[in-house]
Amino acid sequence: MANVVPVDAYSTGEWYPGYKPEFFDMPWIVDPAGPFRPGDENQFWFLDFHWSRGLTPLGSTLWSGDGYCWGTQHAAETLPLPPGRGVTARFAGTHLYGSALPETDPREIEARAGRIATNLPHFLTNYRSIWESGRDELENTWSYFRGIDFTKVRGDELPNLLAQGRRYHKRAMEIHFGVMYPMLANFLGFYGACADMGINPNEIGKFLQGEDTKIMETDRKLYELALKARAAGLEGVFQAHDGGQLRDALARHGGAASLWLTEFDDFLQIYGWRAEATCDVGVPSWIEDNTIPLDLVKTFLQRRDPHDFEAAASNAWAERQEAIENARAGLTREEQAVFDAGLASNQEANFPWWQDDHNYYIDLKVMLPLRWGCQELANRVKADRQDDMLYLFWPELRDVASGDRPYDAGLRGLVDARRQYFDHWHTRRSEMPKVLGTIPEAVEDPILIEIFGLNPQSIKAVQNPEAAEQTTISGVAAAKGVARGVARVLQSSDELHRLEPGSVLVCESTSPNWTPAFGKIAGAVCDGGGMLSHAAIVGREYGVPTVTATGVATLSIADGDEVEVDGSNGVVTILTRAADVASAVRSPEVPA
């Protein structure tokens, strides 16, 4: 008998103040997004870690509509996935829950299987040109937006520019999921074959690790800047100020600091067009807000023993070669033929690599042009704050931009009320149920298992009413090694500056914007995420012991607890509760 967590509390019909159902009027393919509706408890919903801050009115509708309910459903129809039709979305307050859409008609499943039999090989044969042409198309559109001075755009052109910004994001999601589904299908077919041939599943991820990504490249460049800051004697400035004050402090310091800032700005022009969140129009880029990269430089400087990126990369590569050799040795000649060809196919269309690399081109920047448009519009209508427009829904935004509707006291009041609604739900994030609706014992959708870490054990774990009291947590052994440290439980990457070197990161899940943190932490523990999740991949690349798919780490572990992360066995132990650390002496880092 499946456990049902009711959605009644969220399917009241109430949502953001002034919300009307037509705000979700946008094309979708199988199932439209919206706030929870009565009857939704018949489906299985999981709290989506990508948006742990909650989403603004504009962010929530555009992501759920153009991302999940267009992008994933479009890709699931195009490939197609035989038994799956993509992902749909619901909101509980500002928090997004996802659900996989199954195809249940056996005749349809068979017809779809016939189509993927043609399309998947075609994709794999042409993977490089398909992905690179999609990426280049998006980069061209990006260049188009970068070439526009938003402050000089004529008023009557602004609505069109906003529409183009939205369209850029939507097209990016077609490309994103159009590449992701076939790559994942190829990877998981290979994964299943490997496991069936007796290869230890923990080894399979290693076969594809060790290749450089744009995200790792960004981390290295930032780290080089930290070393330059140290060489220029700027450590004192960094230690004396927080990220928010650092830019001014460095400017005041002058001399070497000014030179350093010039180099920092050059870095940002290449790597700074990234927001601190996946596809969230509500979150600034590094260029707009220097706080995050400057805080990262600051924490890099706090680390006494420097992180050796080169050594980590060559270790990852050596580990990969060794894992491949060991796996091959245990296979018959017939199996080796399957393994070798499958490995070659997966090394060419390398899903774990793509899963990190694509964020530079898509997830972390595709919402920026729309954000710039919103900010420019806010300036022109003399909004109270620059982010006011993010609290409008798309039809309202379009009308304000075209001048059909004045940004008057009525709208301003609504924006204020919605801002309060957002803040209210932001503080409730940690109480949000991890799962809602009809909870199965296991899920079959590969993306839910591999990316979200919804395996039978984590699904069981999130239903444990005593989760907050438990001192041993198990999950997926995502990156090997054992480490001890003080836990830092973060709601979002806004709090990355709270990570001291040698601390243990505890969060719902990580995204590429969290990657720099892996250069300084001792261990990582996530509620979600399978072997292919961001934390698992980056944990392996950086040699940081990591346990994912615990379901409840953010509930069970309190900020300041001393914990041991056993990434080889997938176990996290709470050694001392923060409340019991009377002397408040920080535990020394224990090397893995």
Partner 1 sequence: MTAAPADAGVEPAPERHSCEAIAWLDEVAPEEAVACGGAKMGRLAELLASGVQVPQGFAVTVEAYRRHCRDSGLDGRIDEILSRVGPDPSDAEVEHASAAVRELFASTPISEHLTARLTEAYEELCLRCVDVNVPVAVRSSATGEDAADASFAGIFDTYLGVSGIERVLDSVRRCWGSLFTARALAYRLRRGISHHDMPIAVGVIELIHARASGVAFSVHPVTGKRDRIVVETSWGWGEAIVQGLVDPDHVEIGKADGRVLRYDVAHKKVVSAFDFAVGAVTEIEMPAKLADRRVLDDEQVGAIAAAVTAIEEHYGHPVDVEWVIGRHRRAGDPVCIVQTRPVTTAEPEPAVSAASPPGGPAYDPVALAQKYLFSGRPIPGR
Does position 331 bind partner 1 by CB under 8 A? yes
**Of residues 135, 30, 49, 64, the one with CA closest to residue 451:** 49
Q: Is the distance from CB of 67 to CB of 279 less than 8 angstroms?
A: yes
Query: Nearer Cβ to partner 1, position 415 or 536?
Result: 536
Q: Is 117 in the site for partner 1 (CB under 8 A)?
A: yes
Q: In whole angstroms, how close is the CB of 1 to partner 1 at the nearest point?
A: 20
Q: What angle do CA 222, 452, 189 make, to 5 degrees?
A: 100
Q: How far is the CB of 254 from partner 1 (least distance, A)?
A: 57
Choices 180-188, 463-471, 501-509, 553-561; region in contact with partner 1 by CB under 8 A: 180-188
The full DSSP string for 308-372 is -HHHHHHHHHHHHHHHHHHHHHTS-HHHHHHHHHHHHHHHHT-HHHHHHHHHHHTTTTTTHHHHH
> Which pair of structure tokens corresponds to residue 364?
């972390």
Candidates 32, 57, 82, 373: give the one binding partner 1 (CB under 8 A): 82
- Contact map string, positions 233 to 272, toward partner 1, x by CB under 8 A: ----------------------------------------
Q: Which of 332, 379, 420, 427 binds partner 1 (CB under 8 A)?
A: 332
Q: Which is nearer to partner 1, 58 or 343 (CB)?
A: 343
Distance CA 388, CA 59 (A): 12
Can you give 107-151 as a three-state secondary structure string?
Answer: HHHHHHHHHHHHHHHHHHHCHHHHHHHHHHHHHHHHHHHHCCCHH
* Rounded alpha-carbon distances, angstroms, from residue 108 to 81, 116, 223, 235, 242: 11, 12, 52, 63, 57
Decide whether 43 or 213 has the Cβ nearer to partner 1: 43
Instruction: Figure out which of the listed residues 9, 111, 195, 590 binds partner 1, where binding follows CB under 8 A.
Output: 195
Binding mask 196-225 for partner 1 (x = CB under 8 A): xxx--x--x---------------------
CB nearer partner 1, residue 93 or residue 205 = 205
The C-alpha atoms of residue 77 and residue 474 are separated, in whole angstroms, by 36
Least distance between partner 1 and beta carbon 202 (Å): 9
Whether 403 contacts 381, CB under 8 Å: no
Of 73 and 291, the one with the shorter C-beta distance to partner 1 is 73
User: Of 67-75, 206-214, 286-294, 327-335, which segment contacts partner 1 by CB under 8 A?
Assistant: 327-335
Number of chain positions touching partner 1 (CB under 8 A): 44
Candidate residues 185, 225, 390, 435; the one interacting with partner 1 per rule CB under 8 A: 185
Binding residue for partner 1 (CB under 8 A) from 6, 13, 27, 192? 192
Residues that bind partner 1 (CB under 8 A): 81-83, 109, 113, 116-117, 120-121, 124, 185-186, 188-198, 201, 204, 329-335, 337-338, 340-342, 344-345, 442, 444, 446, 449, 455
